Structure 1
Amino acid sequence: MSDWSLAQPAYVLHSRAYRETSALVDFITPQGRLRAVLRSARGKAGSLARPFVPLEVEFRGRGELKNVGRMESAGIATWMVGDPLFSGLYLNELLIRVLPAEDPHPALFDHYAATLQGLAAGRALEPLLRSFEWRLLDDLGYGFALDTDVNGTAVDPAGLYHLRVDAGLERVEFFQPGLFRGIDLLALAEADWSAPGSLAAAKRLMRQALAPHLGGRPLVSRELFRKP
């Protein structure tokens, strides 16, 4: 059982008004994702309750809905606009939707913080997003091999494969929609984003892998990328 009363690093994933002067805030911490009530949200603490600000937070309470005991800035806020901002909001929504509450994933927290820094620094968006999606699935136990199929056979560069989300990649002999080329899968296994077709394949693959964990509801943040 995590001791939430101890100060720990955190980021706000989402915040909304709650009752008269409070806010209901979703946080990501090394000890997991949780929701807490922030009292007097219109004061100094409320100004910190926004995404992409590194925080140090103490929580109170043992139930699912906790209270913020203390919240202070722990660094410089990550500044993003345009597609990097939309990408950060996408990561936040993905964590809220997929990551179980109070399930510790300290390495995932570190990867999230590093991804925010990469977005703010102007690094290529697609590799950052695909790497984070893969890390999220892997940490939750839903990862699968990219260089071998469900039978343990090495992926053939000339082969065609489809994803069985409960098991992994399965080779097929006849073309059908949604398949992946072996050569693209092997590039992904090596994180070779320069290989032709690797980024497009990674995007399709992650969408298929994440779909069962999103409960059939689309991610609102994805729509931001489609607006002119």
Structure 2
Amino acid sequence: MTTSGQPAFVLHSRAYRESSALVDYLTPQGRLRAVLRGARGKAGTLARPFVPLEVEFRGRGELKNVGRMESGGIPNLLHGEALFSGLYMNELLIRILPAEDPQPALFDHYAATLVALGAGRPLEPLLRAFEWRLLDDLGYGFALDRDIHDQPVLTDGSYRLQVDAGLEQVHLFQPGLFQGAELLAMAEADWAAPGALSSAKRLMRQALAVHLGGKPLVSRELFRKP
């Protein structure tokens, strides 16, 4: 089976046999893995992350072949922490997104986030929005303004995350709780609110952890290097 050309981004590529590469792509039809032949030639120069591509895939199995690959737009030139952020998003997609699970809205959000990273927009709000979109589109999202009993989150309330259910109000103090005011700010994407960004980062880590199977993300270590 041959698909017509579709938009795609390279998530990861590694050498395969003598002159080929095994490439993970993100497309509107989901994450696809394919063999790219002649990867040391012209095709290999295109098979880089963050470059908009148009790719034609061939084959019926889970491992496909690249029939045609062309530039699909202007490359997103990422540097420094913006580059690390892009690599982090790519690793999240490889680890969490099921193969061949169509996600056209997530693809569009990913492409828009790359453009925003390249334009130098603040990283943390972009990453939190991407993490949330990934979880929500895969059916793992939860309400930020209502608890697991469908009661409104209270500004002065304290909450913990029940990963398989949502937010649960807690009346006795314990470490690591989320304040209602912070959660309501997250729901409105009000990142200027005190504590909203730091709490959102902690909340997303908890929400993602169960889907990562206890194996840490390599790309997170890039942010810790001097």
- What letter is aligned with 1:142? Y
Cα distance, 1:186 vs structure 2: 0.2
Q: CA deviation at 1:119?
A: 0.3
Q: What does the per-residue CA deviation read over 1:175-198, in whole Å, with 9 as the maximum and x for residues that have no partner?
A: 112210000000000010010100
Q: Where in structure 2 are the equivalents of 1:125-144 lying within 5 Å?
A: 125-144=123-142
Output one character per residue of 1:42-74: Cα deviation in whole Å (capped at 9) or x when no partner: 111111001000000000001010000000001
Give 2:219's aligned residue: 221
CA distance, structure 2, for counterparts of residue 176 and residue 4 of structure 1 = 56
Counterpart of 1:196 in structure 2 is 194
- Give the alignment's TM-score, normalised by structure 2: 0.99
Q: Which consecutive residues of structure 1, in runs of 5 or more, have no partner in the other structure?
A: none
* Residues 119-175 of structure 1 deviation map (CA, whole Å, 9 limit, x = unaligned): 000000000000000000000000000000000000011010000000000000111
1:175-226: CA deviation from partner (whole Å, max 9, x where unpaired): 1122100000000000100101000010000000000000110000000000
Separation in structure 2 between the aligned mates of residue 97 and residue 179 of structure 1, nearest angstrom: 27
TM-fit CA distance, 1:5? 1.2
Alignment-mate amino acid for residue 43 of structure 1: G
The equivalent residue for 2:84 is 86
1:32 aligns with 2:41: no
Q: CA deviation at 1:4?
A: 5.7
* Stretches (4+) displaced over 6 A: none
Partner of residue 176 from structure 1, selected from 153, 174, 182: 174
Report the Cα distance in structure 1 between the residues aligned to 2:32 and 2:221, rounded to whole angstroms: 25
Aligned counterparts, 1:24-63, within 5 A? 24-63=22-61
Q: What is the distance in 1 between the residues matched to 2:62 and 2:2?
A: 11
Cα distance between partner residues in 2 of 1:4 and 1:36: 13
Deviation at 1:103, TM superposition (A): 0.1
Change (3 A) 1:37 1:15: same
Structure 2 counterpart of 1:119: 117
Letter in 2 for 1:18: Y
User: Which residue in the other structure is 2:165 paired with?
Assistant: 167
- The aligned counterpart of 1:71 is 69
Separation in 2, partners of 1:51, 1:123: 19
**RMSD across aligned positions (CA):** 0.8
Structure 2 residues without counterparts, runs of 5 or longer: none
Matched to 2:180, the amino acid is: G
Letter paired with 1:10: A
Query: Percent of counterpart pairs with the same letter?
Result: 77
Q: 1:103 aligns with which of 81, 87, 101?
A: 101
